[in-house]
Amino acid sequence: MSKKQKRGRKIAPAPMTGDVGVVELIDNYFTAYNGARLREICHLLTQKIFQRGVTVGVSLSGAMTPAGFGISILAPLIRHGFIDFIISTGANLYHDLHYGLGYELFSNTIYVDDVELRKEGTIRIYDIVFDYEVLLETDAFIRKVLQAEPFQKRMGTAEFHHLLGKCVREVEIQLGAKHSCLLATAYDCGVPVYTSSPGDSSIGMNVAALSLEGSKLILDPSLDVSETTAIAYGARDSGIDGVEGKSAAIMIGGGSPKNFLLQTQPQIHEVLGLEERGHDYFLQVTDARPDTGGLSGATPAEAVSWGKIDPDELPNAIVCYTDSTIALPIIAAYTINKCAPRPLKRLYDRREQLLATLQGDYLAQKAKADK
């Protein structure tokens, strides 16, 4: 590497003008520290990840959908073909339903009396407030639709959220909604949506309540592990888009969804005994520190030791330490401006095919090892 290459990119400051667009802002003014990491994420997304042949998985944690990001940010990214599958906290999907059902949430202030809010029947998520009735009405909707015949069986959370997304999409049409929520958009676009801890949300609480009434609905996490692994395994199939396949892991926050997305690679090589490689791209926006030992702050280099990340691809691994509510709108605005939409992969419709391929290769490998 030459001395010039070691020096990197020259900082050439220019005075800010009144007509700076989002692309110019990020390219020319995000010059160092986490601003530069955010710029690097935007460049990696537009130049390598949001291209043909790359299967993009997104993990979602933190209260993103109460802030409206399901409709304003994630749904447009899905419709542009930039997100192929999602692993989310159940809470994000539950609060996403409020918007799909036409309920109102409000931006407020953090300087409130929570005891008074409780007396008034008002719920607070930091500076977001809404009526307690929103929870009750959303719960009532969930319990009503889950009693329908299609839900009376064992299933993975992708099928569960697909059916739920179909129901909320029908409500949006009845209401004449201009924009669709995350689950309804994922249903329309064939994007599978998984929850790593299906019992850890109000959706799971309502599933549990119905089980006390005799509901036959059982959410099976093993199906989710196998399906997400099959997607990651199939990502490198060069026949998917006619080009060499690659796998990208984009993590908004950390927590259980991050691990569920990354564990697909150890499942492939450590448990199933198939290829050992790791994801080709690792992008994370987080406010978690790495030195506390938690998964939320675990670095790409640490992930290499687990086989979650391809060690040859560490230059394609970037972490930006900032608030997701700052980074996500910037990333979306930049990439939608810079990238042409990709054809939808509709992985939901291909789950059985991908799973059959994974199972066939695993059983063949196991039979060979047992000889």
pTM: 0.91
Look up tokens 């990491």; give the residue: 37
Overall domain count for the chain: 1
Q: In this structure, what token pair is assigned to residue 331? A: 């990333």
Is 178 inside any structural domain? Answer: yes
The pLDDT tens digits for 85-97 are 999 999 999 999 9
Q: Please tell me which residue, 240 or 162, carries the higher pLDDT value.
A: 162
Q: Please tell me which residue, 9 or 281, carries the higher pLDDT value.
A: 281
pLDDT surpassing 70 at residue 215: yes
Is 210 inside any structural domain? Answer: yes
Is 369 inside any structural domain? Answer: no
pLDDT surpassing 80 at residue 302: no
CA distances from 324 to 182, 253, 292, 298 (A): 17, 7, 20, 17
Helix axes 33-44, 22-29, angle to 10 degrees: 130
Is 200 inside any structural domain? Answer: yes
pLDDT surpassing 90 at residue 308: no
Is 4 inside any structural domain? Answer: no
Is 7 inside any structural domain? Answer: no
Is 35 inside any structural domain? Answer: no
The pLDDT tens digits for 168-213 are 999 999 999 999 999 999 999 999 999 999 999 999 999 999 999 9
Rounded CA separation 296/286 (Å): 7
Q: Mean pLDDT of all residues in the chain?
A: 89
Q: Please tell me which residue, 132 or 316, carries the higher pLDDT value.
A: 132
Tell me what pLDDT residue 78 has: 98
Catalytic residue annotation: 308
Q: In this structure, what token pair is assigned to residue 25? A: 């802002």
The pLDDT tens digits for 96-108 are 999 999 999 999 9
Please give the residue range of the domain that contains residue 327. Answer: 43-361
Is 260 inside any structural domain? Answer: yes
- How are beta strands 128-131 and 154-155 bridged, if at all? unpaired
The pLDDT tens digits for 269-297 are 899 999 767 788 999 998 867 666 655 66
For residue 139, name the pLDDT band (cuts at 50, 70, 90): very high
- What's the CATH number where 259 sits? 3.40.910.10
Q: Please tell me which residue, 38 or 1, carries the higher pLDDT value.
A: 38
